[in-house]
Amino acid sequence: MIILPVSFSVYNRLSVKSSTQSLPVQRDGEIMRVAVAILTVFASVAVTIDATVYFKEQFQDGDAWKSRWLVSEHKSDYGEWKLTAGKFYGDAEADKGLQTSQDARFYALSSRFEPFSNEGKSLVVQFTVKHEQKIDCGGGYVKIFPADLDQAAMHGDSQYYIMFGPDICGYSTKKVHVIFNYKGKNHLIKKEIKCKDDELTHLYTLILNPDQTYEVKINNEKVESGTLEDDWDILPPKTVKDPEAKKPEDWDDRAKIDDPTDTKPEDWEKPENIPDPDAKIPEDWDVDMDGEWEPPMIPNPEYQGEWKAKQIDNPDYKGAWVHPEIDNPEYTADAAIYKFGNIGVLGLDLWQVKSGTIFDNFLIGDDIKEAEEFGNETWGATKAPEKKMKDDDDDDSPTEEEEGEDPKKDKDEL
């Protein structure tokens, strides 16, 4: 952080009174307001300077991105990437990003930056994703790796710190992954966060705070938040059921019981089915050949079903028995679950059945406000014209019926 040479002596110097003449009260108040304004400005500048952007990528320099991003060599048939704004966009240059270009492929690409730790400060991971190919099954997430990752050997089992972003496969899987690695084990969020599944660009933001809270935003709007302990099974539970406790044998947890004074009516017992009284023996029925004739059975209109006594409140009801809990001896509090000490690589490690996803506007930093503003300046500035271009293209596209028409027939009609 850059410390600006500003102190409260500014106001002291401005408000010193002359030994021969006192300043009017109104003038003294004006000086106070000016001093406060100056301090406010410097304070805001100091806060801005304190914000750190560790990684930012917008692909605005053509093929130069290839010098910053490395394709893994772990497999020889990883899918290829291309720089494009896609079939529709809000700005032909600003919306250029990296697009998956081959169907049914794994993709493994990463970019390195100066290593850092998020200890004592917020961590913000943000990027945009566009599935313009009407994705059926494929990932749209990023992984944050430790700086010691061998990028050339990166693959699906490479240990990472964080995995975040949308994942879609069929109708059943349309969610946002938020996975944290803690002591070598990956922990998935217990909540279900739905992702966007249309063909437009969307902004995804993960905020991780040093007070062990988090927030997930889509298109700069909060969709989920909470604490790391509550929403992940990172630590063992604080309490467990007391293994020594048992439900007392005389514990009555029946809220209702049969009324002991209620008795079954004498005429209750009626058969469920009876012979059809309207049935008649067929004229051609031969007893010697066909045997004794029996009328078909029909439901008994007087059948009342199984008799059950009326229910009354149980006078001995004690409520549901709750198993007592004790402190879990396996639980140890950890105020540093949020901390990752050697962040240094951002990676795209994906499988896609149908290619065409575009990634852009990556940002890793520690300032929530700055990330929000960056999102508004990028995704926010181009979302409306992008949608308009797509809508216009959709209006101009032929319908299925038009595509099936016979061009010779059209020519003959002319």
Q: How many CB atoms are located within 10 Å of the residue 43 CB?
A: 12
C-alpha to C-alpha distances, 45 to 40, 49, 85, 395, 402, nearest whole angstrom: 9, 6, 35, 48, 60
**Residue 33: predicted pLDDT:** 58
Pair type for strands 325-327 and 239-241: antiparallel
Write the pLDDT tens digit of every residue in 227-270. Answer: 999 999 999 999 999 999 999 999 999 999 999 999 999 889 89
- Give pLDDT, residue 400: 53
For tokens 């966009």, the residue is 89
Domains of the chain: 53-233+335-396 (2.60.120.200)
What pLDDT does residue 35 have? 53
pLDDT band at 287 (very low <50, low <70, confident <90, very high): confident
Beta bridge partners of 100: 81
- Residue 297 confidence (pLDDT) above 90: yes
Asked if the model's pLDDT at residue 334 lies above 60, the reply is yes
Binding residue per annotation — 160?
yes
Q: Which one-letter amino acid corresponds to residue 86? A: G
H or E, element range at 360: strand 357-365
Between 148 and 7, the more confident residue is 148
The reply, when asked if residue 349 is annotated as ligand binding, is yes
Closest CA to 86 of 169, 201, 165, 203: 201
pTM, 2 dp: 0.74
Sign of the dihedral defined by the CA atoms of residues 384, 390, 393, 394, in that order: negative
| Sequence-separated (6 or more) residues with CB below 8 Å from residue 230 | none
Instruction: State the pLDDT confidence band at 288, using cuts at 50, 70 and 90.
Output: confident
Q: Using the 8-state DSSP alphabet, how is residue 194 labeled?
A: B
The average pLDDT across 277-290 equals: 90
Could you tell me the pLDDT band of residue 181, with boundaries at 50, 70 and 90? very high
Instruction: Decide if 105 contacts 352 (C-beta within 8 A).
Output: yes
CA 295/CA 279 separation, integer angstroms: 6
C-alpha angle with apex 206: 205 to 210, nearest 5 degrees?
145
Say how far apart CA 350 and CA 131 lie, in whole Å.
14
Name the β-bridge partners of 213: 227
pLDDT in tens, 40-80: 544 444 444 578 999 999 999 999 999 999 999 999 999 99
Could you give the CA distance from residue 129 to residue 314 in angstroms, rounded to a whole number?
A: 60
Q: Find all residues with CB under 8 Å of 174, minimum gap 6, and list them.
A: 166, 167, 168, 194, 195, 197
Residue 402: the pLDDT is 58
Give one word for 104, left, alpha or beta, with left for phi > 0 and alpha for psi -120 to 50.
Answer: left
Flag whether 369 is marked binding: no
Give which of 330, 335, 143 is closest to 229, Cα–Cα. Answer: 335
Q: Output the DSSP codes for 88-115.
A: S-S-TTTT-EEEE-SSSEEEEEEEEEEE
**Can you say how many angstroms the Cα of residue 119 is from the centroid of all Cα atoms in its chain?**
24
Residue 407 has pLDDT above 70, yes or no: no
pLDDT tens, position by position, 141-161? 999 999 999 999 999 999 999
CB 140 within 8 A of CB 166: yes
Six token digits for residue 136: 């059926």
Can you give the pLDDT at residue 172? 92
